[in-house]
Chain A
């Protein structure tokens, strides 16, 4: 079975400061990992993914994420937060050994960036 944990329901950060949104995962094999963002009353937008290769993955809107196999983590980061980054963020995982293309999503972390 595959699972994802987002340990923080909410993260608060001031504009201009670096931000981190945490994600840990559990799979039986190797993981495929994803981050999505959801703005109010909208669907989820794909930000970035880790499939293989470099542990640091760069994505849309200046976001990046670092894959850490030993800690089974895939934290989302941004060097300088913007007020417009305020949204709900979801981490997702798929086990490479899975026969289907389903993803398991975390419960989401609300990011609030204050001016």
Chain B
């Protein structure tokens, strides 16, 4: 089974802090994704990566950056946390093979910025 792990289930940070969310997958997947989930808005893509050191902006990249130094690890960085970044953050990965486009998700990190 694919396993995607996230470094924290719950996190509380102060406004202005730099926040790191870590994600690790164990299936040698090429693609990795960061989403945020908010009630009534569904999942919104922040950034994704299709290879080591490669990254692409998603729909809502403002206020975030990412890092992928190793294939199995994809980090989301909030440079200066703000209260409107309080949300559930979900990491996912998928294979680069044809017709294997389903994404596998981690358990999520619920971030509260006070």
Contacts and interface: CB of A to CB of B under 8 A. Distances in A.
Interface of A: 32, 34, 36, 41-46, 49, 51-52, 90, 94, 100-103, 105-108
Interface stretch (B11-19, B36-44, B63-71, B75-83): B36-44
Contacts of A43: 4, 90, 92, 105-108
The majority secondary structure among interface residues of chain A is loop
Contacts of A32: 99, 101
A60 B108 CA distance: 22
A101 B110 CA distance: 25
6 contacts: A45-B105, A90-B43, A102-B45, A102-B58, A103-B103, A105-B42
B42 A107 contact: yes
Interface residues of B, number: 26
Contacts of A100: 48, 50, 56
Contacts of A36: 105
A106 B104 CA distance: 17
Interface of B: 4, 31, 33, 40-43, 45, 48, 50, 56, 58, 90, 92, 94, 96, 99, 101-108, 110
A52 B99 CA distance: 9
Contacts of B43: 44, 90, 105
B105 A44 contact: yes
B101 A103 contact: yes
A101 B58 CA distance: 12
Contact of B90 (A44, A46, A108): A44
Contacts of B33: 102
